[in-house]
Chains A and B, each alone.
Chain A
Amino acid sequence: MLRALKAEFQKLKRAGMPLWTALIVLVAPVVTVGMVSLADNATVVVTWGDFMRYGPQLVASWYGAVLFGLVAAYLFGREHGEGTEKQMFTLPLRREYFFVAKMMVLAIWVAGLLLLSVAAQAAYATLLGLPGASWASVAECVTAELKVAVLIYATLPWVALVAMIGKGYVAPLVYSAITAALGLGLAEAGWGRWFPWSMPLSVTGVALFPSVPMPTLVAWSWALIALVFVSGTAAAVTYVDRADNTQ
């Protein structure tokens, strides 16, 4: 298992994708800059803490589902695209190991992007010279981003499954785009508590300045998202176990 995990990390050694995804996260806070610059300074003072609160907002409503979906598509779709599927399926190792290893790499990748997004948001807020910088605001931002990231990550086994069935990147990208749009629309309609792909917006509110608050998550919401993760994982593992080597 550990060797499979190590192999998955080594596959990223010369890949440009980690860098490109990091670049997207570093660019993202410019949306918040544009948003807060429209506020009337005579009426409302945008603080460092306000700016930080928009970090999780960006992940939840602007790029999280699509970017993390793209990373999942890359990790699970590249075996077919780069012709290494035949090795993966014929090695004398349990195929589940590869799935678990990829999911662990995905978790670390998402966590890395999340930390980078907090740092980028703080850097932009500082560069703008906003008043009221505090560690409490950072902690609040990290907590909200963690919730958002966990909620998005729980839906990613389904993206992985679509990538493996679709044997490439197009199907998971289309799937991610549809679920992102569906999630945003249904969150706006007030179903964020019950629709797993809308749940991140229940944590942050819908993207507006100020954010429009959404119904908060309840225990059943977390049970539902756990079910999405477990069922997605089970479906993906079942598929991997039964997949034919077609290359």
Chain B
Amino acid sequence: MMRMIAAEFLKLKRSRMPMWSGLIVLVAAGLSLAVLPVLADPKTQVEIAKSGGVFAKAVAAGAYQPTWTNYLRVGLQGMSGSWGILTFGLVTAYIFGREYKEGAAKTMLTLPIRREYAIVAKLVVLAVWVLALGILSVALTMAATAILGVGGFSWSAVLGNVDDTLQATALLYCTLPLVAWFAVRGRGYLQPMLFSLGVMMVGNALVATPASPFVPWNMPLHLVGASWYPVSPSPLVPLSWVVAVAVFVVGAAALMWQIDHADSPA
């Protein structure tokens, strides 16, 4: 098992994907903050408040003011509700789909080693990769906020954001075995990417609904809120984590079944 994990990491040795995925995070995390100065404009806030309800409440609560807490939160919201789902989906599609696209599936599927080992090893690599991207996102958001000269820095806000980032990353990770299943089923990258794009939109549609804390693709947004609706952060309930783990287990089981029954392509 350890040799399989080492092999999976070695496969990334000359791969540019870790660098490219880091670049996506750099662009997305850094530039997503550009929205706050726009929203901080009093004229914009008046327009937003006109819709009443949660919009007026968000303006009154100072959710659009350029502060460290708001910047960190907006950065994390971008990961939780948009680019995180797509980028983590792309990384998953790459790890599981490249065996087919690079002609290595026939080797992987015919080695005298349990196929489940390859899946577990890939899931371990995926966990390390998405965790690194999550941490990178926090670091880049902090750097961008500091460069913009935003006031009100506090370590408690940073630590709170790191905690939320870890939770959001864990929740998104729980959904990735299903993306991997699409990659193995579709023998490539397109199906898992389309699936990721679809669930990103469905997840966003369920914000502030009773289903919000129980739909895995919406849970990160439920936890950290979404400035573009706006929706305030809300705590998850224990059942949310049970559902997230159940989705992971079902996805992993489907993935194992798929790989166990897969034929070696020519």
Contact = CB atoms under 8 A, between A and B. Distances in A.
B189 A177 contact: no
Interface stretch (B53-61, B122-130, B149-157, B249-257): B53-61
Nearest to A207: B228
Contacts of B27: 178, 181-182, 185
Contacts of A38: 53-55, 207-208, 229, 231
B232 to A, nearest CB: 11
Contact of B204 (A31, A67, A169, A173): A31
A189 to B, nearest CB: 4
B145 interface: no
B160 to A, nearest CB: 24
Contacts of A44: 50-52
Contact of B87 (A23, A177, A209): A177
B39 interface: yes
Given A70-B194, A174-B24, A206-B38, A40 B52 contact: yes
Interface string A52-67: 0000000000110011
Interface stretch (B1-9, B161-169, B195-203): B195-203
B262 interface: no
A174 B228 contact: no
Interface string A136-147: 000000000000
Contacts of A234: none
Interface stretch (B29-37, B109-117, B170-178, B233-241): B29-37
A138 to B, nearest CB: 22
A67 B205 CA distance: 18
Nearest to B231: A38
Interface of A: 17, 20-21, 23-24, 27-28, 30-31, 33-35, 37-40, 42-44, 62-63, 66-67, 70, 73-74, 81, 168-170, 173-174, 177-178, 181-182, 184-186, 188-190, 206-210, 212
29 contacts: A17-B190, A21-B194, A23-B198, A30-B201, A30-B204, A30-B205, A34-B204, A34-B209, A39-B52, A39-B55, A40-B53, A40-B55, A44-B50, A66-B197, A70-B190, A81-B101, A81-B188, A168-B101, A169-B188, A169-B190, A170-B94, A173-B90, A173-B193, A174-B20, A174-B90, A178-B27, A189-B38, A209-B229, A212-B47
